[in-house]
Every structure is written in C-alpha cells, then in structure tokens.
Structure 1
Amino acid sequence: MGHDLVRPTGMPGAFASALAAHPGRSLLTYHDGATGEHTELSAEALGQWVARTANLLVRGCGLGVGARAAVLLPPHWQTAAVLLGTWSAGVSVSFHGAATAGLPRLGPGVEEPFDVTYAALPRIDDWLDQVPEAHHRFALGLARDAAPLPEPPAGYRDYLTEVRRHDADLRPYVPLRPDDAASVDGTSYADWGRLARELADLFGLRPDDRVLVDAAEHEHPVKWLLAPLAAGASVVLCANLDSHAVRERGAAERVTRVL
C-alpha cells in the first residue's frame, strides 16, 4: 500500500471544513461525570490529534487505502481522534461493540485478521471474544489528562505513546474517492456523509449549535460525532451523565441543543 496520506473527503471532509473555517473554535468538549474529566479541544487541537493518528497508520504502520481497522472504543474525545485520523489515512473502520441498531456495522463472516485494532483498556477483558486478530494492536486507557498506560496489555502498544511520536502535518496528500469504503462492510465515505447529514436534519442541528450528547444514549459515532460535524455544530460529549444535571451542564457549556 502507498505511504502517502489521504485528503479527507465525504464525511471526513466535514471535519476538514470545520478546521479550515474556525480553527480556534471549541469543537469537541468531553465531560465525564464519574471521573470529573473535562477536556476541551478546538478544531485545531483535535486536528493535530487526527493528523498524528493518520501519520501513525501511514508512516508508522505502512497502511493506507484498502487497510481495515477494528475500533472497540466508547464515545470519547480520543475516539474522535482515532476515527477521524483512521479515515483520513483512507483506512476503513469496523465499529465493534458500538450501539449500531439500524446502522451499518461489521457483519458476520468478515475475514480476519484486520490491519489494526484499537481497544479501550477497560473493555479489552470484557470484549475478548470480540477483539479481532490484527497486525497492529493499540490499547487506549482513556485516562484523564491523556496519560499514557504504565504497562500496555501483552500484544498491545499504547496508542498515546505511539501517536505522540508522529508530527501533526497531514501532507502530502493523495486523492481519496467518495465511493471508497469507509467501513469494512463497504459503506462509502459518501454514504456515511449522507447519513450524517440526514441525522443532523432529523435532530434539527444547525451551524454554530453547541450540542450536548449523552454518550450512553448515542454510542454510535455517526450520532455523537459525524452528524454534529455535518451540521457545522460543536459537541459537548458527556459520559456518566446525571439525568438531573443536564440543565446545569447545558448552561455551563452554553449548549443550544440536547440529544
């Protein structure tokens, strides 16, 4: 496979547009009611994580268009970096473990091994029967302050340690076609972009909305990440959200929409 990076198109293009239009704008805020974590990323800051992830795959692992990644991650700001970076490298994705009712997802009979697997450390043991074989395996601890794992599980490398070895430059690019597969079931970048826009319309999202998303209610990334991006909105992603504190959290984050 080629070693050049890929210009985002289709649904990754929504992020590229957000970055180009408002690089300093708060694009993704992550709040965890259980740990107290509060991480706020501008479009530019998230873009640096996205670029480093793409470089990890392309320059570090030698992957590109035609490669396949299995993602076993909950809604989280690091998951956004993984997904957008993986797509920016032209690598198709399988959403293992995500709530995917009625949405495209990996089906039975997909050939293993994958080229890369990302797995959240709290879930690796719970999902052993779902973790596919892969040539490259990265563990994410999802700790506060983006702290690296003290010791990754056997057979895994720590995503944060590895991704920080790569720079935040997303050039040079090679073309990525809208009909290229964005997920391993063959769903294209254009298809995901279309679905994201349809969901944005269904949710009534508008440009410059600040959208509070309950991670437990909207686990699939097309809902908590791609639909807001398609609408030009920013995201306040809340894990372990106290249902009685939604109004308070919304006021603190200047939220205009709640999913």
Structure 2
Amino acid sequence: MSSHPVREVATVTDAVLGPALATDPASPLFTFYDDASDERTELSTLTAMNWAAKTANFLRDEIGVAPGDHVAVDLPEHWQTFTILLGAWWAGAEVVLGADPSASVAFCTRDRLDAHAGIDEVVVAPLDPFALPVGDLPIGVTDFGSGVRVHGDQFAPIVGGPAALDGRTVAEVVGAAADRATADGITAGARVLSTCRWDGVDGLIRGVLAAPVAGASLVHVSHADAAVMAGRADTEKATVSLS
C-alpha cells in the first residue's frame, strides 16, 4: 500500500496525463533517445494523449477490448511502447508484460511474433521515429503504423478494470509510482533523465510512471552511450538521473 495519499483516478493513464494537462499540456512529457540509432523523439502531453487515444480507440473498436481484458505488451523501451501502455490503460485493460496466452491482443516486435502464436490478435510496432508501416507481415497480423494511427485522436476514458498491471489495481500502481518518485527525489516540474529498463513491473513503475505521476517530464535513453550522457543531462536540463 502506498504511503502517500493518491488522487483518485479511473485509469493509470489519467494519473500520467493529469498533472501535465493541468499545467502545460504543450510542454514535453516524454523524450526518447536511442543512441544506437541516433533517434530523438519528443512527445508533448497533447501528442502522447493523441497516440494513446488512437490506441485505445483501436483496442475498443477493432479488437473489442473491455475493462479487465488482458493486453500483452512485449516491447522494448520506446516512445511507441509508452503510448501503447497509455492506450491500453485508457481502454480499461490490464497490461501484462511479455507473452500472455489469455491476452485479447499482443503488441510486439516482428522478431517476437512466434512468442504470441496462440493469440488471435497481434500488433507489430515498427519502433521507428515516425511509426512507418512494417511490410510483409503474416496474414492476420496488424501493423501498428497503419492499423492504429488511422483511429481518432480523442478518447473518452472509461472505468478501469479490476487490475491495471500484473494483477495490481489502478490505485496500487499509481500509489507505487508516487512512492517511487518520492524515493528517487522526483518532484513536480523536474526533468528526469533515465536509462531504466521497462521489462519488469518494478522497472516500468520506476522508469515510466513515477516521473509523470509526480508532475515531472521524462527523458529516456536506450542503448545509452556513456560518452554523451553527461552532455545530454545538460542539454535536456535534467534535474534527476535514474539508472
């Protein structure tokens, strides 16, 4: 149980977007670097919200995801992963990391298709800066770039299901994120530079949720090049660093 009082919200996504929407929705919420590909993508709160809405509309209207259904997210750290998580929670789904045979839909990379062979609905994320379509996918597999982005960029959030992440309720997840933010010294208005992995529940709470839930913005770096990290902290005006 969280040691901090948490504002009651219907979904985890509401807790992530709420602080920034109440202050400056046009400012950066999530900035993504990949030092292996030289990608830098910056999402304002409004842009992240639009992508989350597209994903939530896709899940509700095309897949028929209802509150409480499982959505498997088997993706590395990326801005697309961030918005897919927000969309799944907004649709009321419970996010399960990795493969889940009970999932209504799985989001994965092309090289992870075999891990989700038993799932009726699979979406491949391109993980490129512009969400360009992935070509030559097997029949029945949806391309994120073309299948999700065509949906509406506004969504009316609904009540979440009984769990939001790996069996934890919305309140438990948001409370854990608030506690993690306090432990890491993250406060409202902070700029958080992170190289945390997202491949476990605790890593996701620390590396994705803690900053925005506390009203801070997040800069995530994948495949971090140590030679440029110190300079990047200055460039991005980071006030907190996580690894």
- TM-score band, normalised by the shorter chain? 0.7 to 0.9
Q: Tell me the equivalent position of 1:15.
A: 16
Match of 2:236 in 1: 253
Structure 1 spans left out of the alignment, 5+ residues: 1-7, 98-109
Whether the 8 Å contact between 2:195 and 2:224 is mirrored in structure 1 is yes
Task: Report the 3-state secondary structure (helix = DSSP H, G, I; strand = E; otherwise coil) of the residue aligned with 2:104.
Answer: strand
1:134 to 102, 114, 119: 119
Distance 1:113 1:218 in 2: 19
* Structure-2 residue corresponding to 1:181: 163
Deviation, structure 1 residue 20: 3.8
Deviation at 1:218, TM superposition (A): 7.8
Q: What's the secondary structure of 2:227's corresponding residue?
A: helix
1:33 maps to 35
Deviation at 1:144, TM superposition (A): 2.8
Sequence identity of aligned pairs in percent? 30
User: Which one of the candidate residues 111, 134, 156 is aligned to 1:149?
Assistant: 134
Superposition TM-score, scaled by structure 1 size? 0.82
Question: Any gaps of 5 or more consecutive residues in structure 2?
Answer: 1-8
Tell me if structure 2 keeps the 8 A contact 1:117–1:132.
Answer: no
Instruction: State how far apart, in whole Å, the 2-side matches of 1:217 and 1:117 are.
Output: 16
Provide the residue aligned with 2:81 in structure 1.
79
Contact 2:198/2:207, CA 8 A, preserved across alignment: no
- What is the TM-score of this pair, normalised by structure 2? 0.87
Question: Offset of 1:215 from its aligned partner?
Answer: 4.2
Q: CA RMSD in A?
A: 2.2
2:112 aligns with one of 124, 133, 148? 124
1-side partners of 2:77 and 2:187: how far apart?
A: 22
TM-superposed CA distance for 1:62, in Å, is: 1.5
Could you tell me how far apart the structure 1 residues matched to 2:228 and 2:103 are? 41
1:63 to partner: Cα distance: 1.3
Q: 1:115 aligns with which of 104, 113, 134?
A: 104
Go from structure 1 to structure 2 and tell me whether the alpha carbon gap of 1:206 and 1:248 turns closer, same or farther (over 3 Å shift). Answer: same
Which residue does the alignment assign to 2:179? 198
Distance change (3 Å), C-alpha of 1:9 and 1:21: farther
Q: Number of paired residues?
A: 232
Distance in 1 separating the partners of 2:11 and 2:52: 16
- Superimposed CA distance per residue, residues 67-100 of structure 1 (whole angstroms, 9 cap, x where no aligned partner): 1111101111100100010000001111118xxx
Q: Aligned ranges for residues 38-53 of structure 1 at < 5 Å? A: 38-53=40-55
In structure 1, C-alpha distance between the alignment counterparts of 2:125 and 2:11, rounded to whole Å: 27
